[in-house]
Amino acid sequence: MKTEKVTNRMTAHYALIQMLFNIVCVAVYGFSSVYLRSQGLSDSHIGVVMALGTVINIAAQPGLGSLADRTRKISLNHLLVCFYIIILAAAAALAPAMLPVWAVVGLYMLMSFGVSISETFTNSLAMQQVNRGIALNFGLARGIGSVGYAMGSLALGRLVAASSENAVMPFMMVFSALSIAALLTFGRHSGERAAQEKPAQALKLTDFIRENKRFCLFVVGVALMYYCYCVRASYFYQIVLSVGGDVERFGRVSAFTAFIELPAMACFPVLSKKFKTRSILLFAAVCFLVRTLLLCFADSMAWVYVSQSMQMISYALFVPSSVYYVNEMIGESNRNKGQSFLGMGQSVSSICASLCGGWMLTAAAGNPKPMLFTAVAVSAVGVIILFAVQPKKK
């Protein structure tokens, strides 16, 4: 009974961390165009700013993942707190008044980096507890985080409408500070025994790559497969407009998409008892393709909703299954590196989708069909790789 109470408390606390993280994501990513346009940046410049923040993340992730594996002096909690301090400081610097464009670009890149790299280590934080024997429900917590994204989007949208675009920064500061408080108190429910654990020596980065070639190919497959999701996410507004939608309908379908993630993510522990994690992951990967194909042929908002309803069996299953799969595939002393490599693959996909998707949209005069068909082709290669790298059945 005591163990069950600890698990429930840990899940609730971790769900709070996920919810706060997703609300910060709303401010940094969901309202990037809203804020940066008010600072005088063009759409093309905004894309470059967000891409550069992700590039910094890609460069830093392997090294920070290796650091987290090799040292016990810095906990994952404290590492995440450092990222949120970066976000908080950058938002505070942007809050008072108009700054030179170069300062806005630099500070926003720092915030983008802080948020993108936090996702990987937030996932690792959950797996750390699972590996310590605490049956934390990652899927449920991550689903609650998605609800937080939807609620944060609605709240910040109303706040900006009632005041101005400058409200984005104070909003971000408040929820970054709350995230820091939640992280500093996380883990106390589990007792002190975990702090005394000493896993085997972690591998150096080059040794890790050499000894985990199959895993590295898996990451390549994820990066390619994830491309169709990133294209859809980056240019979903243009997709909605192409079928006769408007800003209001875009907001509604976005909120709908976020809310329907919760049931599937919450049920992941049940599914994982009936099916292998890799089977769920491969199923979700195929569903990504089907979902994007539906968008390719969508000619009304009704078909957009049909496509978005597949969020439950694509993204909502892929997120927890990929995190658990890496946790199962990589040895205990190198799991933070493993999660970092997964995050790096997804980040590479995001950059390519932003840059290539934007170019294709411009070339097609705003028609998203060529972009979407190309995304399906790229992601199909990724799905083939994911099937190919699975170990053979004995």
Q: Is the domain of 372 the same as that of 272?
A: yes
- Does residue 130 lie within any of the structural domains? yes
CA distances for 149 relative to 23, 192, 364, 385, angstroms: 5, 33, 31, 31
- Does residue 194 lie within any of the structural domains? no
Q: How many CB atoms lie within 10 A of CB 385?
A: 19
pLDDT of residue 66: 66
The stretch 214-229 carries a mean pLDDT of 93
- 44 pLDDT band, cuts 50/70/90, is low
Last residue of a domain, one of 186, 214, 240: 186
Q: What is the CA radius of gyration of the chain?
A: 20
pLDDT tens for each residue of 256-285: 888 888 888 888 888 988 999 999 999 999
| d(C-alpha 205, C-alpha 350), whole Å | 23
Is pLDDT larger for residue 317 or for residue 161? 317
Q: Is the domain of 12 the same as that of 138?
A: yes
Angle (nearest 5°) at CA 289 between 266 and 296: 120
List all residues 6 or more positions away from 1 whose beta carbon is below 8 Å from its beta carbon. Answer: none
Q: Is the domain of 111 the same as that of 252?
A: no
pLDDT of residue 73: 62
Last residue of a domain, one of 157, 186, 215: 186
Side chain identity at 296, as an amino acid letter? Answer: C
pLDDT > 70? residue 324: yes
Report whether 308 contacts 361 (CB < 8 A). no
- 198 pLDDT band, cuts 50/70/90, is very low
Q: Is the domain of 257 the same as that of 321?
A: yes
Q: How many CB atoms lie within 10 A of CB 135?
A: 15
| d(C-alpha 37, C-alpha 174), whole Å | 22
Q: Is the domain of 140 the same as that of 8?
A: yes
Is pLDDT larger for residue 162 or for residue 189? 162
Look at residues 372, 45, 35, 361 and name the one whose alpha carbon lies nearest to residue 230.
372
Residue matched to tokens 């004995």: 394
Q: Is the domain of 119 the same as that of 266?
A: no
Q: Is the domain of 149 the same as that of 222?
A: no
Report whether 175 contacts 118 (CB < 8 A). no
The stretch 143-171 carries a mean pLDDT of 85
| d(C-alpha 61, C-alpha 344), whole Å | 7
The stretch 181-202 carries a mean pLDDT of 62
Total domain count, the chain: 2
Residue-by-residue DSSP string for 131-196:
HTT----HHHHHHHHHHHHHHHHHHHHHHHHHS-GGGHHHHHHHHHHHHHHHHHTTTGGG-SGGGG
| Segment among 266-270, 303-307, 309-313, 379-383 with least mean pLDDT | 266-270
pLDDT tens for each residue of 51-75: 787 788 777 776 766 666 666 666 7
pLDDT of residue 62: 67
Q: Is the domain of 162 the same as that of 90?
A: yes
| Segment among 296-300, 331-335, 342-346, 390-394 with least mean pLDDT | 390-394
Share the mean pLDDT of the chain.
Answer: 84
Is pLDDT larger for residue 1 or for residue 299? 299
Q: Is the domain of 178 the same as that of 280?
A: no
Is pLDDT larger for residue 250 or for residue 175? 175
CATH code for position 92:
1.20.1250.20
Q: Is the domain of 153 the same as that of 211?
A: no
Domain that holds residue 85: 1-186
pLDDT of residue 43: 64
pLDDT of residue 69: 61
- Does residue 69 lie within any of the structural domains? yes
pLDDT of residue 180: 95
- Does residue 324 lie within any of the structural domains? yes
Last residue of a domain, one of 159, 186, 213: 186
| Segment among 44-48, 200-204, 259-263 with least mean pLDDT | 200-204
pLDDT of residue 201: 60
- Does residue 1 lie within any of the structural domains? yes
pLDDT of residue 193: 43
- Does residue 108 lie within any of the structural domains? yes
Q: Is the domain of 280 the same as that of 364?
A: yes
Side chain identity at 132, as an amino acid letter? Answer: R
Q: How many CB atoms lie within 10 A of CB 196?
A: 7
pLDDT of residue 68: 65
What percent of the chain stands above pLDDT 70? 89
pLDDT > 70? residue 394: no
| d(C-alpha 230, C-alpha 351), whole Å | 9
Q: Is the domain of 372 the same as that of 297?
A: yes
The stretch 150-178 carries a mean pLDDT of 87
pLDDT tens for each residue of 223-255: 999 999 988 887 887 888 888 887 677 777 877
